[in-house]
């Protein structure tokens, strides 16, 4: 079965360090999502891409977070500088989204996440 | 702003029982609704997706219904098993932005042998 792959699975680093999380979406999916999950806030959408173009990043703190998709097989989420409040599990998901009103969406497929701890 | 609520937050049942999980949303102008399962330390696995024009979807022992007018969806699990223990989340996709979903906080289900 095709899977969304995220690396690293775990990351512990000190405040102020740069953190880069990577995601390999499922081949053929046209939409890639980045989510953050915490006990307090639940699952939040940070940003997503349609055909590699950023469509909405309103959920991200712009001053320290950046998301890119340099090619169809790689999406990255970067935090610089990192802060303790960024500690969370970050999920990447991909899907085949039909962007027309009458068309059907396909389910999103999630990776296993990157568990990030900022000390 | 769409808000998604799942009640109860936690549920414990004996094995074999049929159960219903609830999801409610405030804006009925949705594109679709998905139910996901999340196991500890894992990502979300899609269980069922209901398009806005549909009323229900079934997969094995799972049946999800959608009532857009009342802003409600239910996930029915028949003959529950210990392996069904997980957190179940519903997510609503926005009518004007099909890629953007709002998630509920989930219901944590424990099925006791």
Distance CA(A27)–CA(A4), nearest Å, equals 9
Give the model's pLDDT for residue B1.
85
Is there a contact between B99 and A113 if contact means CB atoms under 8 Å apart? no
Q: What mean pLDDT, rounded, does chain B reach?
A: 93
Is there a contact between B42 and A31 if contact means CB atoms under 8 Å apart? no
Please list every residue in chain B whose beta carbon sits closer than 8 Å to the beta carbon of residue A105. Answer: 31-32, 49, 51, 93, 98
Give Cβ neighbours of residue A6 (< 8 Å, ≥ 6 apart).
Answer: A21, A22, A23, A24, A90, A91, A92, A111, A112, A113, A114
Please list every residue in chain A whose beta carbon sits closer than 8 Å to the beta carbon of residue B102. Answer: 45
* Residue B92: strand, helix, or coil: strand
* Contact in structure between A82 and A17 (CB atoms under 8 Å): yes
Among A residues 18-77, those touching chain B with beta carbons less than 8 Å apart: 31, 33, 42-43, 45, 48, 50, 55-56
The 8-class DSSP code of residue B17 comes to: -
pLDDT in tens, A81-116: 999 999 999 999 998 877 654 445 667 899 999 999
Distance from CA of B80 to the nearest CA of A (A): 24
Partner-chain residue, chosen from B34, B98, B105, that has the shortest CB–CB distance to A42: B105
Give Cβ neighbours of residue A81 (< 8 Å, ≥ 6 apart).
Answer: A15, A16, A17, A18, A64
pLDDT in tens, A16-50: 999 999 999 999 898 899 999 998 889 999 999 98
pLDDT in tens, B60-73: 999 999 999 999 99
Q: Is B103 on the interface with A (CB under 8 A)?
A: yes
Distance CA(A52)–CA(A70), nearest Å, equals 8
Distance from CA of A113 to the nearest CA of B (A): 6
Give the model's pLDDT for residue B105.
94
pLDDT in tens, B3-14: 999 999 999 999
Is there a contact between A56 and B97 if contact means CB atoms under 8 Å apart? yes
Q: Which residues of A16-33 are buried (b: 16+ CB within 10 A; e: fewer)?
A: eeebebbbbbbeebbbbb
Beta strands B4-7 and B10-14 are unpaired
DSSP A26-93: PTT--EEEEEEEETTTEEEEEEEEETTEEEE-TTS-TTTEEEEEEETTEEEEEESS--GGG-EEEEEE
The 8-class DSSP code of residue B39 comes to: -
């Amino acid at each position: 079965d095709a899977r969304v792959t995220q690396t690293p699975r775990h990351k512990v680093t000190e405040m102020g360090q740069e953190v880069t999380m990577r995601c390999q979406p499922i081949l053929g999916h046209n939409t890639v999502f980045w989510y953050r999950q915490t006990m307090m806030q639940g699952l939040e959408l940070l940003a997503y891409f349609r055909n590699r173009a950023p469509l909405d990043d309103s959920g991200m703190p712009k001053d320290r977070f950046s998301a890119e998709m340099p090619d169809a097989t790689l999406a990255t989420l970067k935090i610089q500088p990192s802060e303790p409040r960024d500690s969370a599990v970050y999920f990447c998901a991909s899907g085949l989204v039909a962007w027309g009103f009458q068309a059907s969406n396909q389910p999103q497929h999630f990776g296993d996440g990157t568990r990030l701890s900022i000390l | 702003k769409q808000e998604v609520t799942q009640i109860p937050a936690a549920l414990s049942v004996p094995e074999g029982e049929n159960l219903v999980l609830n999801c409610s949303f405030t804006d009925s102008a949705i594109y679709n609704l998905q139910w996901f399962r999340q196991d500890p330390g894992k990502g979300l696995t899609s269980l069922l997706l209901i398009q806005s024009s549909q009323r229900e979807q079934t997969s094995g022992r799972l049946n999800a219904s959608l009532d857009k007018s009342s802003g409600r969806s239910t996930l029915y699990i028949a003959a529950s098993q210990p392996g069904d223990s997980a957190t179940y989340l519903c997510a609503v996709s926005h009518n004007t932005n099909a890629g953007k979903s709002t998630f509920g906080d989930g219901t944590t289900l424990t099925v006791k042998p």
